[in-house]
C-alpha cells in the first residue's frame, strides 16, 4: 500500500551576516590589513541558538550548539556574540580533558573558527564561576551544599592536536574574555589546591599544543583578563602563528603570554602594570621562529619580556614601552638577530636588558648580532647587562648606539668571551647617568681608547683567591684593581690571561690595592714586559702599551 | 457437495511510514545553504519521494530530501510538504 506522510519543520533564515554589522577589520594597523581581515564565512549568531547574553543564565549549551553547526558545515564559521554578557562553563564530563576542563575545545575543528563580538566593552564572555572572584574563597564555598564543586577552573579556548589532525586555527575578535579570577600576585607554580590561589595551570585563556599544527591564532581588539594561568599559552611548535593586535591582557598569576611560535604583538598592552609574572615570553628553541613586538607596552614583576631564540630565529622590539618590571627584557640562554629600537624603558628595577645562561635548555648556542639603538632608558638600572658566567661566552656582533640614558648606567656586566664587531657609539648620558657601574665589564669604559664621557671611575675590581694554587688569573677592568685575600703563602702569583689581552685598549691603566702583601705580578712575556717579578704594593700601577703588553708605570 | 480449496496468497505488511526531522542549522540571507538532509524516513517501502509545498524563498528541496539554495529573505517559517513511499497502491 502506498503511504503518504505530511511533514513540517521549523526553519529560520537570519538576516545577512546574521546581524553582524560591525566589521572590525577597519581597526587594523596600517600594513597589517590582510593579516587582520575578518575571514569570509557564514555568520552564526549565538542568539539564534538560544543564548541570552544576560549575564544570568548559563549560555554554554546554546553557544555550543552554534559551534557544532560550524563544525557540521565543514567551512570557516564566524560565531557572533551580539552585545551582552555570556556566562560560559565547561560541560562535564564531555568537556573534561587531561589538560583541564575546556569551554571551547577546537582540536577537532579543521576549519577556521572566528569568535567575534561588538567590541571589548560590549561583548563579554565570562567564566561562570562567581566564587573565583575572591582569592581567599575556598573552593568548597562555591557550591551551596558545601561539597567540592565539579568544576574548579577552566580553559576558555583550547586546541591540543593529535597526530595527523591539524586544527584550522581561530580568532578572538572584539570582545572581552573574563576568567573571573582576580590577580593576587601569588606565582606559586601549580597554585594552592585549597584556595585556588597562585599560578593555576588549569586556568588559562587560550591554550595551544599538540603534535599537529594549529593554523594562525589571532587575538584582535580584545581583552583577555582574570585568569590565574597564562592568558595565552602555545607550547612546542603546534601553533603556526600567534598574533595579538589592539588587545590587552592582565591579571595572570603566571606569564600573560607564553609561546614558542612565530609571534607578533602589535598595539597591545601586555601586563597592564598589575604585576603579572612575565609580560611576554617566547621560547624559540625548537624552530627558527620570529618574535616581533611593535607599538606595544609590556610589564611583568619578573620580566616585561623574555626571549630565547636559537640561531636563525629573530627578535624585533620596535617602538615599545617596557615599564615597571623587574627586568625589562631577559635574553635567556641563547639569542641571535635581536633588534631593540625606538623603545622606552622606564622604572625597571634591575636592568632594562640582560643576557643570562642558566643552562635551562640544551639548545642554547650563545648570543650574537644584537642591535640596540635609539632607545630611551630612564630609571631602569643598566641599559644592558651581560651576565657572562664562568669563562663567559663569545659575542659576535653587539651594537649599542644612539641611546639616551637618564638615572642609570649604559652598560655593565662581564663580557668575558671573545667579542667582535663590538660597537658602543653615539649614546647620550643624561642626568644621573653613567656609562658603566662599579661591577663593570672592561669594554664599556672605552671607545677607541677614549673613556666614554660620564663614565664611572671604578673603585676597584675586587679579586679574592681562596684556592691553594700558587697562581691566580685576574682581569683588571677598572682604574683600581683590588687584590684582596689569598691562601697561598709565602707568594701568590697574579697573572693576566694572555688570550684576553684584546679586551684592553692601548692606554688602559689600573692601579693596585692589596689586602695581603704576598701578591706578585709574575714576569711573563705573554702579557707583560717586566724584567722581573713585581711585588704588588698599593702604589703599583700597570698600563697596556702600544706593543699590546702591560708595562709598569 | 462441499468442496474445500486450499489457497496461498502473497501478502506484505509494510511498516508504518515515519519521519524524524533534523534540527536544521539556520540559514543566512545571501549565503548559500549547503545541501542538508531535512530528516530520516523509516518504514514504508523505499525509496521515498519528498515534495515540498512550503519553502523559504530561494531554497529548494530535492526529491530525496536535501534542502539547499540561497535564501533571499529573512524570517522564521516552516518547511512543509509530503513524503511518499514506493508501496504499490
DSSP string of A402-438?
S-EEEEEEEEEE---S-EEEEEEES-EE-TTEESS-S
Cβ of A141 under 8 Å from any chain B Cβ? no
Q: How confident is the model at residue A137 (pLDDT cuts 50, 70, 90)?
A: very low
pTM equals 0.76
C-alpha cell at A511: 692601579
Using CA atoms, how far residue A70 sits from A112, A363, B72, in Å, is: 9, 41, 21
Q: Is the peptide bond before B71 cis (omega within 30 degrees of 0)?
A: no
Cα separation of A345 and A483, whole Å? Answer: 36
Under DSSP, is residue A499 helix (H, G, I), strand (E, B) or coil? helix
Cβ of A3 under 8 Å from any chain B Cβ? yes
Using CA atoms, how far residue A248 sits from A75, A216, A226, A281, in Å, is: 29, 19, 11, 16
**Which of A361, A364, A367 has its CA nearest to residue A336?**
A367
Cβ of A541 under 8 Å from any chain B Cβ? no
DSSP-derived secondary structure for A311-333: BTBEEEEES-EEES-SEEEEEES
Question: Per mean pLDDT, which range of A133-137, A350-354, A364-368 is the poorest?
Answer: A133-137
Cα–Cα–Cα angle for A66, A109, A116, rounded to 5 degrees:
50
pLDDT of residue A150: 47
Taking the alpha carbons at both ends of chain B, their separation in whole angstroms is 38
Residues A525 and A493 sit within 8 Å (Cβ to Cβ)? no
CA of B67 vs chain A CAs: smallest distance (Å): 11
Q: What is the mean pLDDT of residues A18-41?
A: 88
pLDDT of residue A399: 86
C-alpha cell at B29: 540571507
The predicted-structure confidence for B24-42, as pLDDT tens digits, reads as follows: 877 878 878 889 999 999 9
Residues A86 and A46 sit within 8 Å (Cβ to Cβ)? yes
Residues A375 and A401 sit within 8 Å (Cβ to Cβ)? no
Q: Do A9 and B21 touch (CB under 8 A)?
A: yes
Cα separation of A189 and A248, whole Å? Answer: 23
Q: How confident is the model at residue A118 (pLDDT cuts 50, 70, 90)?
A: very high
Identify all chain B residues contacting A16, using CB atoms and an 8 Å cutoff. Answer: 28-31, 74
Binning chain A into helix, strand and coil, the percentages to the nearest 5 are: 10, 45, 50
> Pairing between strand A232-234 and A204-210?
parallel
pLDDT of residue A458: 57
* B26 vs A4, A12, A17: nearest CB: A12
Q: What are phi and psi of A216, to 5 degrees?
A: -45, 135
Q: Is the peptide bond before B47 cis (omega within 30 degrees of 0)?
A: yes
* Burial state string for A25-53 with b = 16 or more CB within 10 A and e = fewer than 16: eeebeeebeebbebbebbbbbbbbbebbb
Q: Which residues of chain B have pLDDT under 50?
A: none
Contacts of A355 (CB under 8 A, 6+ apart): A331, A332, A335, A367, A385, A386, A387
Cα separation of A203 and A94, whole Å? Answer: 18
Residues B84 and A41 sit within 8 Å (Cβ to Cβ)? no
The mean of the pLDDT values for chain A is: 85
Q: How confident is the model at residue A142 (pLDDT cuts 50, 70, 90)?
A: very low
Q: What is the mean pLDDT of residues A485-514?
A: 83
Q: What are phi and psi of A142, to 5 degrees?
A: -75, -15
Residues A542 and A550 sit within 8 Å (Cβ to Cβ)? yes
The predicted-structure confidence for A225-276, as pLDDT tens digits, reads as follows: 988 899 999 988 889 999 999 999 988 889 999 999 999 999 999 998 888 9
C-alpha count within 13 angstroms, C-beta hemisphere, residue A316:
12
Torsion of CA A372, A374, A379, A382, to 10 degrees: 20
Identify all chain A residues contacting B84, using CB atoms and an 8 Å cutoff. Answer: 2-5
Residue ranges of A 69-128 with Cβ closer than 8 A to chain B? 69, 72-73, 75
**ipTM of the shown complex:** 0.88
Residues A380 and A409 sit within 8 Å (Cβ to Cβ)? no
DSSP-derived secondary structure for A218-254: EEES-EEE--SS-SEEE-TT-BS-EEEES-EE---SS
Number of CB pairs, chain A paired with chain B, less than 8 A apart: 111
pLDDT of residue A182: 75
Asked if pLDDT for residue A415 goes beyond 90, the answer is no
Give which of B25, B49, B61, B71 to mutate to test A binding, by max A Cβ within 10 Å.
B25
Distance, CA of A547 to chain centre: 46
* B74 vs A9, A13, A43: nearest CB: A13
Across A433-437, A474-478, A499-503, A518-522, the highest mean pLDDT is recorded for A518-522
Cα separation of A334 and A284, whole Å? Answer: 9
CA of A6 vs chain B CAs: smallest distance (Å): 4
Cα separation of A427 and A403, whole Å? Answer: 5
Q: What are phi and psi of B23, to 5 degrees?
A: -85, 110
The predicted-structure confidence for A160-218, as pLDDT tens digits, reads as follows: 998 888 899 999 999 999 988 878 888 888 777 666 678 888 889 999 999 898 999 99
Identify all chain A residues contacting B56, using CB atoms and an 8 Å cutoff. Answer: 11, 13
Q: Do A7 and B82 touch (CB under 8 A)?
A: yes
Amino acid at each position: 500500500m502506498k503511504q503518504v506522510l505530511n511533514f513540517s519543520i521549523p526553519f529560520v533564515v537570519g538576516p545577512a551576516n546574521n546581524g553582524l554589522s560591525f566589521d572590525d577589520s577597519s581597526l587594523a594597523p596600517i600594513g597589517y590589513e590582510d593579516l587582520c581581515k575578518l575571514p569570509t564565512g557564514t555568520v552564526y549568531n549565538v542568539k539564534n541558538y538560544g543564548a541570552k547574553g544576560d549575564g544570568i543564565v548559563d549560555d554554554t549549551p546554546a553557544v555550543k550548539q552554534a559551534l557544532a553547526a560550524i563544525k557540521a558545515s565543514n567551512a570557516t564559521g564566524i560565531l557572533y556574540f551580539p552585545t551582552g554578557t555570556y556566562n560560559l562553563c565547561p560541560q562535564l564530563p564531555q568537556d573534561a580533558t587531561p589538560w583541564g576542563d575546556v569551554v571551547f575545545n577546537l582540536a577537532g575543528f579543521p576549519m577556521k573558527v572566528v569568535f567575534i563580538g561588538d567590541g571589548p566593552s560590549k561583548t563579554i564572555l565570562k567564566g561562570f564561576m562567581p566564587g573565583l572572584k575572591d582569592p581567599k574563597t575556598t573552593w568548597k564555598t562555591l557550591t551551596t551544599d558545601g561539597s567540592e564543586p565539579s568544576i574548579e577552573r577552566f580553559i576558555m579556548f583550547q586546541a591540543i592536536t593529535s597526530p595527523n589532525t591539524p586544527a584550522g586555527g581561530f580568532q578572538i575578535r572584539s570582545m572581552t574574555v573574563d576568567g573571573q579570577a582576580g590577580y593576587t600576585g601569588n606565582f606559586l607554580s601549580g597554585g594552592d589546591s585549597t584556595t585556588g590561589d597562585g599560578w593555576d595551570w588549569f586556568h588559562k585563556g587560550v591554550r595551544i599544543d599538540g603534535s599537529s599544527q594549529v593554523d594562525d591564532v589571532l587575538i584582535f581588539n580584545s581583552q583577555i583578563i582574570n585568569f590565574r594561568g597564562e592568558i595565552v599559552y602555545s607550547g612546542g611548535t603546534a601553533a603556526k602563528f600567534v598574533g595579538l593586535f589592539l588587545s590587552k591582557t592582565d591579571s595572570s598569576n603566571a606569564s600573560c603570554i607564553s609561546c614558542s611560535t612565530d609571534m607578533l604583538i602589535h598595539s597591545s598592552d601586555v601586563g597592564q602594570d598589575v604585576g603579572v609574572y612575565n609580560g611576554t615570553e617566547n621560547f624559540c628553541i625548537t624552530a627558527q621562529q620570529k618574535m616581533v613586538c611593535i607599538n606595544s607596552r609590556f610589564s611583568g614583576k619578573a620580566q616585561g619580556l623574555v626571549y630565547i631564540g636559537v640561531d636563525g630565529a629573530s627578535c624585533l622590539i620596535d617602538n615599545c614601552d617596557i615599564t615597571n618590571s623587574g627586568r625589562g627584557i631577559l635574553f635567556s640562554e641563547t639569542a641571535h638577530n635581536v633588534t631593540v629600537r625606538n623603545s622606552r624603558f622606564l622604572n625597571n628595577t634591575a636592568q632594562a636588558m640582560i643576557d643570562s645562561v642558566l643552562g635551562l635548555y640544551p639548545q642554547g648556542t650563545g648570543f650574537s648580532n644584537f642591535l640596540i639603538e635609539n632607545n630611551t632608558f630612564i630609571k631602569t638600572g643598566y641599559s644592558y647587562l651581560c651576565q657572562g658566567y664562568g669563562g663567559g661566552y663569545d659575542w659576535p656582533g653587539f651594537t649599542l648606539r644612539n641611546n639616551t640614558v637618564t638615572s642609570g648606567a649604559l652598560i655593565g656586566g662581564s663580557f668575558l668571551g671573545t667579542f667582535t664587531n663590538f660597537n658602543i657609539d653615539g649614546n647620550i648620558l643624561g642626568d644621573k647617568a653613567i656609562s658603566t657601574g662599579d661591577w663593570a665589564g672592561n669594554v664599556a669604559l672605552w671607545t677607541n681608547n677614549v673613556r666614554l664621557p660620564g663614565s664611572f671611575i671604578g673603585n676597584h675590581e675586587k679579586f679574592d683567591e681562596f684556592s691553594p694554587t700558587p697562581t691566580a688569573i685576574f682581569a683588571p677592568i677598572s682604574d683600581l684593581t683590588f687584590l684582596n685575600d689569598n691562601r697561598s703563602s709565602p707568594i701568590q702569583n697574579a697573572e693576566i690571561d694572555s688570550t684576553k689581552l684584546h679586551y684592553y685598549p692601548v692606554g688602559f691603566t689600573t692601579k693596585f690595592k692589596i689586602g695581603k702583601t704576598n701578591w706578585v705580578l709574575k714576569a711573563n712575556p705573554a702579557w707583560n714586559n717586566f724584567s722581573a717579578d713585581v711585588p704588588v704594593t698599593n702604589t703599583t700601577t700597570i698600563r697596556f702599551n702600544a706593543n699590546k703588553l702591560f708595562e709598569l708605570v | 457437495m462441499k468442496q474445500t480449496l486450499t489457497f496461498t496468497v502473497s501478502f506484505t505488511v509494510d511498516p508504518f511510514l515515519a519521519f524524524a526531522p533534523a534540527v536544521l542549522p539556520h540559514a543566512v540571507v545571501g549565503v548559500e545553504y549547503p545541501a542538508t538532509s531535512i530528516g530520516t524516513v523509516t518504514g514504508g517501502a523505499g525509496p521515498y519521494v519528498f515534495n515540498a509545498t512550503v519553502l523559504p524563498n530561494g531554497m529548494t528541496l530535492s526529491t530525496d530530501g536535501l534542502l539547499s539554495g540561497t535564501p533571499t529573505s529573512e524570517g522564521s517559517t516552516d518547511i512543509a510538504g509530503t513524503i511518499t513511499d514506493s508501496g504499490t497502491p
